[in-house]
Amino acid sequence: MNAASSAGLAGSTHQAPADALAALWRDAAMPPDALSHLTLTGADPILPSSFAIGTAAQASLGASALAAAALWAQRTGRWQSVSVDMRHALAEFRSERYLRVNGGPAPELWEKIAGLYPCGDGGWVRLHTNFPHHRDGVLKILKCAHDRDAVRAALAHWKAEDFETVASDAGMVVAAQRSLETWLRHPQAQALAGLPPVTIEKIGEAPPEPLPAFPPHAEINVDARPLSGVRVLDFTRIIAGPVAGRTLAAHGADVLLVTAAHLPSMPSLVIDTGRGKRSCQLDLRDPDDKRTLHKLFHGADVVVQGYRPNGLAELGAGPEAAARARPGIVYVSLSAYGHVGPWSGKRGFDSLVQTATGINDDEARAAGSAEPRPLPAQVLDHATGYLLAFGAMAALHRRSVEGGSWLVRVSLAQVGQWLRSLGRVPDGVTVPDQHIDEVSDLLEVAESGFGELTVVRHAAKLSETPAHWTLPSVPLGSHAPEWLPRPPG
């Protein structure tokens, strides 16, 4: 397998990061002259992968930063320069891996039975059991103890795709490994074929709504940034959606994370992705809390949601309801497998989408491994997060000129499809992995509601409005469900 895979990659080429970013920019109908203000440095491979993951990191993160610069230009009449280094972008793509709390490790990320298992038919399945109800549901189907050896023994009696089907039908998050060839024959892959990684569509009428202009340069508030005064409701968990909110906060938005006391979370990810956000709790099954949410909608500019497909819509908080409550809203929606096709309602996470769509199989073939091989970062999650933020800012840019309410959609599977389109990197898997000590120059120390944090600085550098987080990460529910006063220009 190794010889064949090496031959298959030997003549492959991957897209230049600037070309990848320009394509995203063009698809979002953003101003072409912005691209002249962008500088990208570095080249793949930097981390061990046969995919152009550095290109994906630099292009997605760079697109979000350039969109912030475009909003700044709308508000001031001036462009600023934007630069992104690939090594730094990839470090930020592993921000949860490099997080340290009070000088020690962050809370454990993975539940003990999560991961890959061989099945009785020679196939593999990946289990995601970090939430208790997902763990308990898988164990109920397998009729086994909460133990890796017991799970392995139970799965030896299953065919991989049969278990995936039964578990998915029960609302669990499981993926059978597929080769690319098998995935491309799947109806879901065929439904996504040709879709861009980000879709932006007008879903309602509203008058043009430019963001407030800033006064002449000498009078601009020193804390003013491209998204100053923009209000974002953040209904997300885990990595992709929270990274989008963290990115919008880095460019000055008032980001209000909305959770509920009964919903599970992953502590290390709450800490890492909570930078720059306020955090409140609302139970949308409660009539009073639902009324509070609708008051928040009235004052919001952007909603970012990453719950199961139609989950918020069933609670009266979908895009149509938001646009009725607040004409001119930008509603940004994340899904695992896309908004079309037979798997449009299927739950999933980055690691599962990598498995289901052939990425793990291709990485294994490139490395000559008999076992599925994941990407060296949660690349789909992080790229999706920056593309969600990019889509949100592109829609705000268009709203200022065209008016309207907007729906932005990004899925992990579409981003996986985009990653493939960037090409492959011969011998990329042979590059040594990086340890935290090798990225120490990209880290900073910050106080938080959890103690002293060591975190990755934002990788995009904007010459006039440096991205940064003015608020520390805090425990969930630390704030009231209300907006801050909009700051003066």
Number of domains in the chain: 2
Does residue 217 lie within any of the structural domains? yes
Whether the per-residue pLDDT at 12 is higher than 70: the answer is no
CATH of the domain at 104: 3.40.50.10540
Rounded to whole angstroms, the Cα distance separating 251 from 224 reads: 9
pLDDT at position 5 = 37
Would the pTM count as exceeding 0.85?
A: yes
423 and 343 share a domain? yes
Calculate helix-pair angle for 412-421, 53-76, nearest 10 degrees.
110
The type of residue at 209 is E
pLDDT digits (tens, 9 = 90+) for 412-457: 999 999 999 999 999 999 999 999 999 999 999 999 999 999 999 9
Whole-number pLDDT of residue 221:
78
Amino acid at 338: G
Judged against a pLDDT cut of 90, whether residue 193 lies above it is answered with yes
Torsional sign, CA 224, 226, 228, 229: positive
> Is residue 261 located within the same domain as residue 380?
yes
Question: Do both 156 and 206 map to the same domain?
Answer: no
Residue 182 corresponds to which tokens in the numbers above? 């098998």
Residue 158, token pair as written in the block = 């299953």
Query: Is the domain of 197 the same as that of 140?
Result: no
**Domain ranges, residue 85:** 17-108+187-462
- 93: which 2 tokens? 């793509």
Up-side HSE of residue 71: CA atoms within 13 Å toward CB?
34
Instruction: Look at residues 411, 408, 374, 452 and name the one whose alpha carbon lies nearest to residue 303.
Output: 408
Backbone angles phi, psi at 73, to 5 degrees: -65, -40
Structure token pair of residue 318: 């979908």
Task: Tell me whether residue 447 is in a domain.
Answer: yes
User: What distance lies between CA 402 and its chain's CA centroid?
Assistant: 27
pLDDT over 60 (residue 3):
no
Residue 470 lies in a domain: no
Return the HEC string of 290-309. HHHHHHHHHHCCEEEECCCC
Alpha-carbon distance of 125 to 178, in angstroms, equals 9
> Is 479 contained in some domain?
no
41 and 132 housed in the same domain: no
The confidence score (pLDDT) of residue 11 equals 55
Residue with tokens 């769509």: 357
φ, ψ of residue 102 to 5 degrees: the values are 50, 40
Say whether both 171 and 196 belong to one domain: no
- Which tokens belong to 329? 């809203």
45 upstream amide cis, omega within 30 of 0: yes
Mean pLDDT of 160-181: 97
Whether 66 contacts 32, CB under 8 Å: no
pLDDT at 217 over 80: no
Do 288 and 405 lie in one domain? The reply is: yes
Query: In the structure, what pLDDT confidence band is assigned to residue 218 with cuts at 50, 70 and 90?
Result: low
Query: Do 200 and 292 have their domain in common?
Result: yes
Which pLDDT value is given to residue 223?
83
Please identify, among 126, 148, 176, the residue that sits at the C-terminal boundary of a domain: 176
- Among 141, 176, 211, where does a domain finish? 176
Would 46 be classed as within a structural domain?
A: yes
pLDDT of residue 308: 84
Listed residue (188, 201, 236, 194) closest to 345, CA to CA:
188
- Residue 403 located in a structural domain: yes
pLDDT of 8 reads 46
- 394 and 337 in one domain? yes
Cα–Cα distances in angstroms (integers) from residue 433 to residues 29, 47, 96, 404, 439, in the given order: 37, 6, 16, 46, 11
Residue 82 pairs in a beta bridge with 38, 462
Give yes or no: residues 21 and 129 share one domain.
no
Does 98 share its domain with 134? Answer: no
pLDDT in tens, 18-77: 999 999 999 999 999 999 999 999 999 999 999 999 999 999 999 999 999 999 999 999
Say if 158 falls within a structural domain: yes
Neighbours of 313 (CB within 10 A): 16
Q: What is the pLDDT of residues 113-137, one digit of tens each?
A: 999 999 999 999 999 999 999 999 9
Q: Per the domain annotation, does 12 fall within a domain?
A: no
Strands, E, within 25-118: which ranges?
Answer: 38-41, 82-85, 100-101, 104-105, 115-118
Which whole number is the average pLDDT over 281-303? 96
Phi first, then psi, for residue 196 (nearest 5°) are -75, 165
Query: Are residues 198 and 160 part of one domain?
Result: no
